[in-house]
Amino acid sequence: MRRSLFLAIALILNTVPARVLAQTQVTQASIAPMPLNRALDAFAHQTGLQVVYRAEIPDTLQSKGAPAGLPAEQQLKRLLQGTGLDYRAVTPTTYTIVPASAPGNVQAGNRPADKPLPAIDPTGGMKDLAPVSVSANAVDTLAPSAAPLEATQPTSVIDERFIRDGLRFNANFDDIIKYAPSVTVSSPEGPGLGKNEGISIRGFQDGQFNITFDGIPFGDASDLHHTTSAYFNNHVLGQAEIDRGPGGGSTIGNATFGGTVALRSRDPSDEPGITPYLTIGSWNTRAGGVNVDESLGSHTRVFADVSKEASDTYLKGTNDKREHVFLKTITQLGDQTALTFVTSYNREHQNTVQGATLDEIAKFGWRYGLSNDPALQSYQGYNNAAYYSSFTYLGLTSRVGDWDVDNKVYLNTFDHWSRKTSDASDNNRADNSVSFYNAQGKKVSTVKGDVPGKLADSGFHAFGDVLRLARDLGPGSLSTGVWLERSLDARYQLPMDLTTDQYTGTKYGPLQNYQLDDRTDTFQPYVQYDWKITDTTTLSPGVRYSAVTRSLDALLNKVSPPEPSKAEATYHATLPSLSLHQKLSDSWTAYAQAAKGFLAPPIDVIEINGSHGLKPELTTNFQLGTSYASRQFTWGADVYYIRFSNLLAETTVATDNGNENVYVNGGGAIYKGAELEATYALTHALSFYANASYNKATYRDTDVQIAGTPKVTGTLGMLYSSEQGYYGSLMGKFVGKQYGLDNTTDDSGRTVFANSQRLGGYMSVDGAIGYRTEHGLPGTRGFSVSVDVNNIFNVHKLTSYAGTQSVSGEPLFFGLPGRGVFLDLSVKL
């Protein structure tokens, strides 16, 4: 098996050098005496080496500094002298900080007797046990993502430097990940503005892959979708990792087969300060906020961020407003115990668009969103929405005997209120008509010309616990744990006359179209063993059991006529996994992986009659890949094959409540492809980045491409980051052709699988340029200024299919937002 693995990798990557680049011995500039963690950061920045150390290194540990003129390793020794710490070379480009008495170190130092040894993980691992990498890019320049050497599946890590320097201040997490391999996003209102209309990874759509925050899965209770603008912006994120695979047994979540977008919150800085920031830009965008890093006593560090933003956005009439509050504290309770508290609250108001027909785009232009005519359903004043979300957790990491313990208790809330017309894309006054009904369902009047609409609200509270345990055992390490969650959801909808702002009642008698409560319970225990067969070979078998129970208690269900309903369905699966990780050299690794995947059907299956009896989605995933990292060059490559059973396809049916999306079993499907990404350091400050992906997803035994799956994607970029404080990037993202639909309903009501609504390929180029300094006006600690430009060449292309108009049946689309220019300013006090 190992010989086959190596042969396959060699065939894919036959130009890879057999040896890593020789480590540079260029002498370095001096580093002044300062707190050790700051000295290590300065050393890493000027040498381009990656230095991994635990965040719990006490602020009281001081480095005596190091003079200029020393090779990198000698300078690092001088920085650590007298601290009780030493270093170990993990690769030629990566050093981990360890206790001086730890075996295998380069040199044993002397630990002062009066200073307790800080709680350092000798492996340079994380503070918690969630399977999220903390590896930064090995090259010493800005880069959108890199493949870590320790990966056991296709992985791209996006570090904090790119999140800060490559994107505008108020970017959302979909903007952060959009340059990564196989990822496409559709944000028609502009970067960080309005609601994202779709994220795709290898053709898996939002809801078919995981999104986690600090290792905790989250998503809409009913269908696992995510409103990106309703959660975390890049002010509060420290890292994003995209795992394009199901992971091992320890990878928890509802839809791991499609991958995991793992978001990590920003840690409090060791350097206290207050940083106000401001953004002004295109489409009347204005935003401001302040973040604070501070210490409370000697054991607690705090990071807080408050921001507010308003914009007309690229699409006219949408008028987006957003407020966000975030707080994180880390308290050291002992040498090996830390308590983390995080709470986040987000509020967003906007006028929501439904898409536009091709005729509307041709008539009103690419910026058409909503009209200003109260006689039309497209009137901006009739189509309003508000999103309220919060995310709070309390996490404890510790060591109990031989076990490392990581436990997070959390509460995640989301509420979506909306008032909108029957079809926000309809500009035909002849389609307006409102009927009123009494309590017995008898029509009492019809008003021609009045605008029909509906008022709706949906909200959930999800509370749960993620417990992870790990320990060394025999020739490897054992990890086990469990994820428990209960999500309580409530929804209602009432028909309205929006011209007079009156409830109309329904032809069945009740005032509401529907009113229901539902509950989802999730139980996922897991176990995984990482068996270190040799110093270079690790085999990791694992198994996760997933059980999802959905229950419905509806006063009025989504059926015609609406009626009370109670229902419950339980879906479960045992999901084994096996991965092999091989260290080919200090800078080159390879992996192979096989795993089962599972996704329970959405709550629609027990809400809508037409979806009853659907089976859960099941997958078998196979992946083979490799990663390489040196100071000058990093790259990763992989191939994958995914066999899908019971693939759920979304289709649209007409109901008394308007068009509703329901799910049908699409049978089997095959996802397969190849991915490659690389960063090459042209100089110490300038690097070149590229990735390319081929993704084919078809229904089994057909040539029908699954909707929303571009066969080809790619990214090209130049990135700059100098010691003088200047930084910038020029990034181009290509998305190949795709189809908006893969099925239709014929006259007999049968689902027919065929492609339609073709969307051509496009390329968009974004740029950023900025300057940062630690020297500023008196009373400040420096400032930063940057200009970010999205879609530099003002390309206009359709990016996603948005359904059909209710009356005309004409297809609706979203497009690429035009050129936007944003100025970001910040001052550290």
Confidence check: pLDDT of 326 > 90: yes
Q: pLDDT band for position 787 (50/70/90)?
A: very high
Give yes or no for a contact between 89 and 95, defined as CB atoms under 8 angstroms apart.
yes
Where does the pLDDT of residue 733 fall: very low under 50, low under 70, confident under 90, or very high at 90 and above? very high
- Specify whether the CB–CB gap between 807 and 759 falls below 8 A: no
Q: What is the pLDDT of residues 58-106, one digit of tens each?
A: 656 888 888 887 888 888 888 888 888 888 765 556 677 877 754 333 3
Write down the residue that tokens 């744990």 correspond to.
481
In the predicted model, what is the mean pLDDT of residues 631-652? 82
Which band of pLDDT confidence, cut at 50, 70 and 90, is reported for residue 123? very low
Closest CA to 545 of 482, 595, 602, 594: 482
**Angstrom distance (rounded) from CA 243 to CA 132:** 9
φ, ψ at 676 (rounded to 5°): -145, 135
Degrees, nearest 5: CA angle 282-714-702 = 115
Contact 470, 457 (CB under 8 A): no
- What pLDDT is attached to residue 663? 59
Residue burial 783-803, b: 16+ Cβ < 10 Å; e: rest: bbebebbbbbeeeebbbbbbb
CA–CA dist 257, 388 (Å, integer): 29
The answer to whether 761 and 737 are in contact (CB under 8 A) is yes
φ, ψ for residue 298, nearest 5 deg: -95, -5
- Residue 529 in contact with residue 540, Cβ under 8 Å? yes
Query: Can the peptide bond before residue 561 be classed as cis, meaning omega within 30 degrees of 0?
Result: yes
pLDDT of residue 665: 61
C-alpha distances (whole Å) from 169 to each of 165, 228, 286, 769 are 9, 15, 11, 13
pLDDT over 80 at 138, yes or no:
no
Q: Could you give the count of Cα atoms lying within 13 Å of 671 in the half-sphere of its Cβ? A: 29
Distance CA 76, CA 57 (A): 16
Asked if 98 contacts 88 with a C-beta cutoff of 8 angstroms, the reply is yes
What's the average model confidence in pLDDT over 271-281? 92
Rounded distance between C-alpha atoms, residue 94 and residue 344, angstroms = 34
471-490 confidence digits (pLDDT tens) = 999 999 999 999 999 999 99
pLDDT tens readout for residues 380-403: 999 999 999 999 999 999 999 999
93-107, 138-152, 413-427, 529-543: range with lowest mean pLDDT: 93-107
Is the pLDDT confidence value at 438 over 90? yes
Instruction: Count CB atoms within 10 A of the CB of residue 449.
Output: 11
Whether the predicted pLDDT of 810 surpasses 80: yes
- Residue 67, token pair as written in the block: 């003079």
Output the CA torsion sign for 8, 13, 15, 17.
Answer: negative
DSSP 8-state secondary structure symbol assigned to residue 230: G
688: pLDDT strictly greater than 60: yes
User: Which pLDDT score is estimated for 7?
Assistant: 41
**248 and 542 Cβ atoms separated by less than 8 Å:** yes
pLDDT tens-digit series, residues 363-376: 999 999 999 999 99
Angstrom CA distances, 36 to 54, 65, 125, 275, 554, stand at 12, 9, 19, 23, 60
Q: Which residue has the higher pLDDT, 658 or 529?
A: 529
Please tell me the distance from the alpha carbon of residue 768 to that of residue 789, in angstroms, as a whole number: 6
DSSP string for residues in 192-208:
TSS----EEETTEETTS
| Residue (of 6, 61, 137) closest to 580 by Cα position | 6
Confidence of residue 16 (pLDDT cuts 50, 70, 90): very low
Confidence check: pLDDT of 119 > 60? no
What mean pLDDT value characterizes the chain?
84
Torsion of CA 759, 765, 766, 771, to 10 degrees: 170
For the chain, how big is the Rg over CA atoms in Å? Answer: 27
Does pLDDT of 113 surpass 60?
Answer: no
Where is mean pLDDT largest: 121-130, 140-149, 235-244?
Answer: 235-244
